[in-house]
Each structure stands twice: as structure tokens, then as C-alpha cells.
């Protein structure tokens, strides 16, 4: 009787552990904090800190994105965004909480957006690479691979290269 009890416990533990590993593989992760390394413009010129700086933190449930670009006159273009998100092996969902854009370079100043825009995009996962179109803005294609994040503007105007720091 005691042998059967030990066997049953062993099987339950094994099923639990294997289930946890199985679920981990079923739920891809892009979680982490990424820092902008460079932005390559369509003409081939490269912007690096301090001309352009950014930090992008993704948790299982939230996104915090901040980027700032300075021009030679000291004017800035910056975006700050907070959102809710969810990633599965099939789609990436995001709902904006707020976004602030300060476009001194374009002469528009700051604008605040509290509209609860949301959307989902299909996810492509190949050999550990996770790719999708930004589901709310639909203008940026994101590719996560290892500790690298590449964000490519759909119109080809730039590619931003990020590295995971945490």
C-alpha cells in the first residue's frame, strides 16, 4: 500500500513539473527592460545616444515605453506610453492606458491621449524569434530574438535596435 502511495505521489509530481515546463513553452515571453542602442534612418545615417535615447519595459501584464530624440537646436521629440498587454503563442494584445507625445521638432508641442485604444496582432514564432506588428499603431514591426529587439517602421523610415538589459 505504501509503495502505491509513493508511486502515486511521484506520478503527481512528475505530471505537475512536466505541465509547468509545457506551459512555459506554450507562453512565449518578451518580458524585460530594453535600452535603445541605435536608430538607423532610411538614408543610412545612424542616431545613437545622446541624440536618441529610449527605454522599453515589458512585463507579463504591462508596457512602459519612453523615447526622446534631440535635434541640433536642442528641440525634442518624445513619446511616453503606458499600456496593458498580453502575449500568447498566437497573438499579442495591447490596450493603451495613456500616451504623451511632445513634438517640439515638428512645432506641435505636447499632446496627451487617454483614449483606450486596443488591438491584437498575430504572432509568428520561429526558432525562438517572436515577431508581430504593433497591434494598436499598426506602423511598427517588432522582432524579439534572444536579448535583441528590432523595431522597424512599416514605411521604412527607420529601424531601431534595442538590447535587453534586465
56 confidence band (pLDDT: 50, 70, 90): very high
Location of C-alpha cell 509547468? 20
Q: What is the pLDDT of residue 27?
A: 65
Q: Give the Å distances, CA to CA, from 69 to 40, 47, 66, 78, 116.
A: 13, 9, 11, 6, 26
Sorted by where each begins, the domain ranges of the chain are 1-29, 31-164
Q: What is the pLDDT of residue 40?
A: 97
- Look at 14 and 146; give whichever has higher pLDDT: 146
Average pLDDT over residues 61-86: 95
Average pLDDT over residues 68-96: 94
pLDDT tens-digit readout, 92-140? 999 999 999 999 999 998 999 999 899 999 999 999 899 999 999 899 9
Q: Give the Å distances, CA to CA, from 15 to 1, 6, 68.
A: 21, 14, 48
Q: What is the pTM of this model?
A: 0.81
Mean pLDDT of the chain: 86
Amino acid at each position: 500500500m505504501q509503495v502505491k502511495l509513493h508511486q502515486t505521489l511521484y506520478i503527481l509530481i512528475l505530471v505537475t513539473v512536466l505541465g509547468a515546463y509545457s506551459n512555459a513553452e506554450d507562453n512565449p515571453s518578451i518580458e524585460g527592460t530594453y535600452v535603445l542602442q541605435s536608430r538607423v534612418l532610411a538614408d543610412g545615417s545612424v542616431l545613437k545616444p545622446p541624440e536618441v535615447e529610449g527605454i522599453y519595459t515589458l512585463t507579463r501584464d504591462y508596457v512602459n515605453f519612453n523615447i526622446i530624440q534631440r535635434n541640433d537646436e536642442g528641440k525634442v521629440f518624445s513619446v511616453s506610453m503606458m499600456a496593458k498587454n498580453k502575449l500568447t503563442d498566437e497573438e499579442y494584445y495591447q490596450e493603451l492606458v495613456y500616451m504623451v507625445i511632445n513634438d517640439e521638432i515638428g512645432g506641435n508641442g505636447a499632446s496627451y491621449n487617454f483614449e483606450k485604444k486596443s488591438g491584437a496582432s498575430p504572432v509568428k514564432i520561429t526558432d525562438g524569434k517572436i515577431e508581430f506588428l504593433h497591434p494598436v499603431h499598426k506602423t511598427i514591426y517588432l522582432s524579439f530574438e534572444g536579448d535583441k529587439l528590432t523595431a522597424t517602421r512599416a514605411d521604412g523610415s527607420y529601424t531601431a535596435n534595442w538590447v535587453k538589459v534586465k
